Structure 1
């Protein structure tokens, strides 16, 4: 399922606050951080969700306002980041409101690679954002030296199934950018509590970056680096041996997919597919039921 990377990878979470609509300023700050990351020998820099356009509350802005903030993933903002990546050799993930060729709007996260490639993840879970379309696929790709990367943006990280799919697709590192909606948003606390569990359950590293905080978690669920105070970069060297030593890797190999059909097709209503606790073996017979509804 998973082959270990050939060498350690030094990563950084850069959780700066990006003002909404100040795109040129935000791009300039991202480029400056990439250049600093190069001086500190960072291989991958992870910026927050929507760091180029700034944090956007899609529940309050109208479509016209959202469209005014949106840009193509091939536009000037992303190109400036890609140029910095190629110049420094530091791969970088940045978020924006994407305007697709068909006019659709997406909350997207673009990972620019030193070889000129761009990997685009469209956010899967966009509940509460009526003008933002949902992505329809997972984003998993190879970075360097055997490191396989998955991206889950914002609310994508709230569902345990998404991280599990990333692991089953061979990811050893989960990039988890986030954007706080407002000062009272509890999503940040949720992320702090759940990301160590995601790492532990799936045997992968997690790099979390928000506009106010960030963290790096190892495959055993230990937070190895996190933001304390000030405008700082959080960095750590990821040891691939920790992925191989994670108990989750063994348990992933012993999964029984034939038992999990309800995860894909079931709902929270209806009869659960479990054995009744009060069933006894004496005199028991196998019985099946079918419920048929006649259309009236």
Structure 2
């Protein structure tokens, strides 16, 4: 059984929650028209990614003004959606992947764990990973900077993930780093990796949304002027990649200590005393 994934590329206007929600709902409807089972949206797509917005009042999970239209679109289309937003929970603020499943209430599934410098004074880092099933694929969540850390995707794969989703917002100049990280996370772990990025205001975000297969090859990308990319994902591709690329099987849980030359007894060379 395959999973058809739709990756969205959207301009989220800072503070325009109503307009941003409308753009998400429209993209969900287009994803459904394209046969998608699952749709991924960029970082902070509901609030917009902006320091001024982050410092002000943030939506909560129970704010019907943003969550209800998205939930209703998911119910209507049958497309599962991962929607990231800045979110207030009690006295804390998070960059949260909210999971919308047909027939269910919204779930605050995953909070961004690796916070960028400018985010650290505002947001609280998440304390756990998260995965869920779509068909026979296990899907893990991450947000932007998380994917810069190889151990984050490795932990998801070790927990059984076949697909690693990343909602992000890359600034100008980040193209090389963005594409290298996602391709590497895919190849390193023999998993699919999908990225959904913001474009436009207020920082000229560069998008670059797409999907990489378990060998690190880009298999889908949002074209010029488009806002969705589709990819059909197969469990067999993960199995085949891991059979051909043995890094996952041969990975060692413990590499032992890191020794220095001074730790070794080299003939003719006095050993340094500590």
Query: Structure 2-normalised TM-score?
Result: 0.86
Q: How far is 1:127 from its partner?
A: 3.0
Q: What does the per-residue CA deviation read over 1:149-190, in whole Å, with 9 as the maximum and x for residues that have no partner?
A: 11110111111110110110100001011023x5x3x34431
Q: Which residue of 2 aligns with 1:4?
A: none
CA 197–277 in structure 1, closer or farther in 2 if over 3 Å, else same: farther
- Contact 1:67–1:99 under 8 Å retained in 2: no
SS in 1 for 2:56: helix
Matched, 1:113 2:101: yes
Q: How far is 1:91 from its partner?
A: 0.6
Matched, 1:139 2:139: no
After the TM superposition, which residues 141-290 of structure 1 pair with which residues of structure 2 at under 5 Å, given as runs? 141-142=132-133, 144-180=134-170, 182=171, 184=172, 186-211=173-198, 212-247=207-242, 250-259=246-255, 273-274=258-259, 276=261, 279=264
Detail structure 1 runs of 4+ shifted over 6 Å in the superposition. 280-284
SS in 2 for 1:21: coil
Q: Highest CA radius of gyration, 1 or 2?
A: 1
Q: How far is 1:282 from its partner?
A: 7.0
Q: How far is 1:253 from its partner?
A: 3.0
Unaligned runs of 5+ in 1: 1-6, 261-271, 292-296
CA 67–278 in structure 1, closer or farther in 2 if over 3 Å, else same: closer
Matched, 1:22 2:16: yes
Write the distance in 1 (CA, Å) between the matches of 2:116 and 2:227.
31
Q: Which residue of 1 aligns with 2:115?
A: 126
CA 170–85 in structure 1, closer or farther in 2 if over 3 Å, else same: same
